[in-house]
A and B are shown apart, each in its own frame.
Chain A
Amino acid sequence: MLNVGKIEEGFVLDHIKAGKSLSLYEHLQLDKLDCTVAIIKNARSNKMGKKDILKVECDIDMLDLDVLAFIDHNITVNVIKNGEIVAKKDLVLPPKIRNVIKCRNPRCITSIEQELPHIFVLADEDKEIYRCQYCEEKYSESAKAL
């Protein structure tokens, strides 16, 4: 088994669906941060069988929890200080997300006016359905990220 060391200060994103850590890395724009990031893929998990884990050595405020909640609100967010877990953050679905996903409806005004933000609004919390603020097109997994 591969061992990745503890981090002193930062956060650990646990229970990421296996294979999703790289897209999460992109969405959270971790490539733009000048800090240590460990991406662990296909770790063994009692709960999930296999899971991914992200360890990031930076302040928790650098993390966009809304984006994280939108992608998967079942992810566990552990805040680490002095090498210990000091808090767990609950993720709730954000009421609105801006410029995270793109509306793919060719009839939407965002398809011709490039400077417009792509805003999606939580339309059904139980079914976790987001709709484009402008054309109300439902977001589907097949829609590519920005």
Chain B
Amino acid sequence: MRHLMSPMDFSVEELERLFDLAASIEQNPAKYAHACEGRILATCFYEPSTRTRLSFESAMTKLGGQVIGFSDAGSSSASKGESVSDTIRVISCYADICAMRHPKEGAPMVAAEKSLIPVINAGDGGHQHPTQTLTDLLTIRSLKGKLGGFTIGLCGDLKFGRTVHSLIKALVRYPDIRFIFISPEELKIPDYITDMLKSKNIAYEEVIRLEQVMPQLDLLYMTRVQKERFFNEEDYIRLKDFYILDKAKMELAGKDMLVLHPLPRVNEISVELDDDPRAAYFRQAKYGVYVRMALILTLLEITV
């Protein structure tokens, strides 16, 4: 039995198989519509995350399975003081697979240690959110046709953004990728990431302004720059517009460049870009369902 705790749990070859399956589901959803009939997914969400939870529920429903669960700790036994280990032992009796989100880092791993059913980490605090990374990789592979051989710009809060760190770690396993990190000084990518890139001889560049690198990018991964991350409001006001993607900046980009965003967006991508064919962030949400469908099938060892 396998669990998914981190995007690195799967080898590149295993990911290829997962993405092939996701692509097959996308092309022929009817073939998989009854694949999980009689199976139950438990969504154990100790903190609210509507998007991720609905994405899992949608995935299981599209596979013909059923969903049970809770959407915040208040409506679970955690409010009575039950441990994660005890909860998963009980959930193992009710369901065939579990997606767990928890505000505490490592909670899904604690669950996996005691679980009788596969556990998927659906986000544990600021630590891991592997299904987001799998979504990002599948989106890139599906829309670019390959993983590797491109320049990707990562923009915004690169210091605290776990989706960004996770995506970089996953991408370094693919050939010929160049990274451009676009962030204010205060939110620069951590040293341990740049050290890792140096040790692997992977090209990267760090810049402060988005528009200066737009023409070089094949992909742009946007994240939000939050006001509370800055030491003073003056710096925030001075810098915030550098990290808002608008029509003027998009005019500098190539015609095949794609914009990704883990969502929710606040104001870092202007709504006027939503109809631009290069804006891929809503399609990305759709790939999130396909990849979760493929993941559920893989962990339940169901072949169609």
Contacts and interface: CB of A to CB of B under 8 A. Distances in A.
Interface string B123-165: 0111100000000000000000000000000000000000000
B14 interface: no
B83 A134 contact: no
A108 to B, nearest CB: 5
Interface in A84-111: 105, 107-111
A108 B110 contact: no
B84 A134 contact: no
A128 to B, nearest CB: 15
Contacts, number: 45
A136 interface: yes
Mostly, the A contact residues are: loop
Nearest to B125: A107
Given A113-B83, A113-B84, A115-B83, A105 B105 contact: yes
A110 B106 contact: yes
Contact of A107 (B83, B85, B104, B109): B104
A4 interface: no
A113 B88 CA distance: 14
Nearest to A136: B127
Q: Which of B104, B106, B107 has the most CB of A within 10 A?
A: B106
A113 B110 contact: yes
B105 A135 contact: yes
A135 B83 CA distance: 17
Interface string A106-146: 01111111011000000000000000111111000000000
B106 A132 contact: yes
Interface string B53-70: 000000000000000000
A109 B110 contact: yes
Interface residues on B, range: 10 to 19
Contact of B84 (A107, A108, A109, A133): A109
B126 A133 contact: no
Contacts of A111: 104
B192 to A, nearest CB: 9
B256 to A, nearest CB: 36
Contacts of A116: 110
Contacts of A136: 105-106, 127
A107 B126 contact: yes
B101 interface: no
Contacts of A109: 84, 102, 104-107, 109-110, 124
B69 to A, nearest CB: 19
Q: Which of A108, A109, A111, A112 has the most CB of B within 10 A?
A: A109
B83 A108 contact: no
Interface of B: 83-85, 102-107, 109-110, 124-127
28 contacts: A105-B105, A107-B103, A107-B104, A107-B105, A107-B125, A107-B126, A108-B104, A109-B84, A109-B104, A109-B105, A109-B110, A111-B104, A112-B104, A113-B83, A113-B84, A113-B110, A116-B110, A133-B106, A133-B109, A134-B107, A134-B109, A134-B110, A135-B105, A135-B106, A135-B127, A136-B105, A136-B106, A137-B105
The 5 closest A-B pairs by CB, nearest first: A134-B106, A135-B105, A109-B104, A109-B107, A109-B106
